[in-house]
Amino acid sequence: MSKCALALAGMLTLCGPVFAAGPQRKLEELDRIQVTATRTPHAAQDVPASISVVEGPDYRTDTLGASLSEKLATIPGLLARNRHNYAQDEQLSIRGSGTRASFGIRGVRLYVDGIPATMPDGQGQVSHFPLATAERIEVLRGPFSALYGNASGGVIQLFTADGTAPTNIGIASAGGSDDSRRLGVDLRGAQADRFDYSLGLNHFATDGFRDHSRAERTAFNGKANLSRGNTTVTLLANALSAPGTLDPLGLSRVQFEADPRQATEGAHLFNTRKSVSQRQLGAVLAHDFTSDAQLRLLAYAGEREVTQFLAIPVATQRNPLSGGGVIDLRAPYAGLDARWTQTATLAGKPLEVVVGLGYDQLRQDRRGYENFVGSQLGVRGALRLQQDDRVAALDQYAQATWRPDEAWSLMAGVRRSEIAFRSRDRYITTANPDDSGRVTYRATSPVFGLGWQPRPSLHVYASYGHGFETPTFNELGYRADGGSGLNFGLRPARTRSGEVGMKLQDDAGLRTEVVLFRADTRDELTVNTSSGGRTTFQNAGDARRFGAEWSASLPLAGAWRALFAYTHVNARFRDGFLTCVTTPCAQATIVVAPDTRIPGVPRNTLYAALHWGDEIGWHVRFDGQYGGAVPVNNLDDERADAYAVFGASAGYGFRDARSEGRVFFAVGNAFDRRYAGSVIVNEGNRRYYEPAPGRKATVGIEWRWRD
3-state secondary structure 125-151: CCCCCCHHHEEEEEEEECHHHHHHCCC
Instruction: Tell whether omega for the bond before 166 is within 30 degrees of 0, i.e. cis.
Output: yes
CA 217/CA 206 separation, integer angstroms? 10
The continuous run of DSSP H or E covering 28 comes out as helix 27-30
**Which of 221-235, 266-280, 475-489, 606-620 has the weakest average pLDDT?**
475-489
Radius of gyration for the alpha carbons in the chain, expressed in angstroms and rounded: 25
CA 217/CA 463 separation, integer angstroms? 41
Helix, strand, coil shares of the chain, percent, nearest 5, are 10, 55, 35
Task: Print burial letters for 534-571: b (CB count within 10 Å at least 16), e (below 16).
Answer: bbbbbbbbebbbbbbbbbbbbbbeebbbbbbbbbbbbb
pLDDT at residue 34, rounded to an integer: 58
Assess contact for 6 and 13: CB atoms under 8 A. Answer: no
Q: Give Cβ neighbours of residue 313 (< 8 Å, ≥ 6 apart).
A: 266
The angle formed by the CA atoms of residues 472, 473 and 475, to the nearest 5 degrees, is: 65
Q: Quick one: which of 125, 28, 145 has its CA closest to 77?
A: 145
**Which of 28-32, 382-386, 459-463 has the weakest average pLDDT?**
28-32
CA 310/CA 148 separation, integer angstroms? 33
The angle formed by the CA atoms of residues 646, 157 and 26, to the nearest 5 degrees, is: 70
> Regarding predicted confidence, which is higher, 215 or 536?
215
DSSP-derived secondary structure letter, 70? G
Burial of 574 (0-12, 13-18, 19+ CB in 10 A): middle
pLDDT at residue 220, rounded to an integer: 97
Region 665-691: mean pLDDT is 94
User: What does residue 181 show for φ and ψ, rounded to 5 degrees?
Assistant: -150, 150
Assess contact for 189 and 164: CB atoms under 8 A. Answer: yes
Region 348-363: mean pLDDT is 96
Assess contact for 621 and 567: CB atoms under 8 A. Answer: no
Assess contact for 694 and 97: CB atoms under 8 A. Answer: no
pLDDT at residue 500, rounded to an integer: 98
DSSP-derived secondary structure letter, 623? E
**Three-state DSSP state, 411:** strand
Number of neighbouring beta carbons within 10 Å of residue 497: 26
pLDDT at residue 532, rounded to an integer: 63
For residue 446, give Cα distances in angstroms to 2, 58, 337: 38, 34, 19
Number of neighbouring beta carbons within 10 Å of residue 15: 12
pLDDT digits (tens, 9 = 90+) for 308-329: 999 999 998 988 888 899 999 9
pLDDT at residue 474, rounded to an integer: 85
Q: Is the per-residue pLDDT at 189 higher than 90?
A: yes
Give the number of residues written for the chain: 707
Assess contact for 567 and 520: CB atoms under 8 A. Answer: no
> Regarding predicted confidence, which is higher, 102 or 177?
177
**Which of 29-38, 477-486, 539-548, 656-665 has the weakest average pLDDT?**
29-38
> Regarding predicted confidence, which is higher, 198 or 580?
198
Assess contact for 83 and 104: CB atoms under 8 A. Answer: no
pLDDT at residue 347, rounded to an integer: 92
Region 653-682: mean pLDDT is 95
pLDDT at residue 484, rounded to an integer: 67
The percentage of the chain sitting over the pLDDT mark of 90, rounded to a whole number, equals 77
DSSP secondary structure letters along 578-603: EE--SSSBSS--EEEPTTPBPTT--S
**Which of 139-153, 250-264, 278-292, 304-318 has the weakest average pLDDT?**
139-153
For residue 585, give Cα distances in angstroms to 538, 539, 632: 14, 18, 17
Q: Is the per-residue pLDDT at 8 higher than 60?
A: no
Q: Is the per-residue pLDDT at 23 higher than 50?
A: no
Q: Is the per-residue pLDDT at 291 higher than 80?
A: yes
DSSP secondary structure letters along 237-306: EEEEEEEEEE----B-HHHHHH-TT---HHHHHTT-EEEEEEEEEEEEEEEEEETTEEEEEEEEEEEEEE
Q: Is the per-residue pLDDT at 17 higher than 60?
A: no
- Name the domain count of the chain: 1
Residue 146: give its domain's CATH number: 2.40.170.20
Q: Quick one: which of 86, 80, 170, 173 has its CA closest to 133?
A: 170
Region 662-673: mean pLDDT is 97
Q: Quick one: which of 165, 242, 232 has its CA closest to 206?
A: 242
pLDDT at residue 36, rounded to an integer: 67
Assess contact for 421 and 121: CB atoms under 8 A. Answer: yes
Assess contact for 333 and 360: CB atoms under 8 A. Answer: yes
Q: Quick one: which of 144, 83, 151, 92 has its CA closest to 116?
A: 151
Region 7-29: mean pLDDT is 35
pLDDT digits (tens, 9 = 90+) for 526-549: 988 876 667 889 999 999 999 999
Identify the top-confidence range among 19-28, 283-292, 532-541. 283-292
Assess contact for 393 and 359: CB atoms under 8 A. Answer: yes
**Which of 44-53, 419-428, 697-706 has the weakest average pLDDT?**
44-53
Region 232-249: mean pLDDT is 97
Amino acid of residue 217: R
> Regarding predicted confidence, which is higher, 74 or 480?
74
pLDDT at residue 98, rounded to an integer: 85
User: What does residue 567 show for φ and ψ, rounded to 5 degrees?
Assistant: -135, 135
Assess contact for 514 and 548: CB atoms under 8 A. Answer: yes
Q: Is the per-residue pLDDT at 12 higher than 60?
A: no
Assess contact for 94 and 113: CB atoms under 8 A. Answer: no
Q: Is the per-residue pLDDT at 455 higher than 60?
A: yes
pLDDT at residue 481, rounded to an integer: 72
Q: Is the per-residue pLDDT at 11 higher than 50?
A: no
Q: Is the per-residue pLDDT at 5 higher than 60?
A: no
pLDDT at residue 493, rounded to an integer: 95
What is the domain range of residue 334? 3-706
Average pLDDT, the chain: 90
CA 82/CA 312 separation, integer angstroms? 25
> Regarding predicted confidence, which is higher, 267 or 321?
267
> Regarding predicted confidence, which is higher, 523 or 589?
523
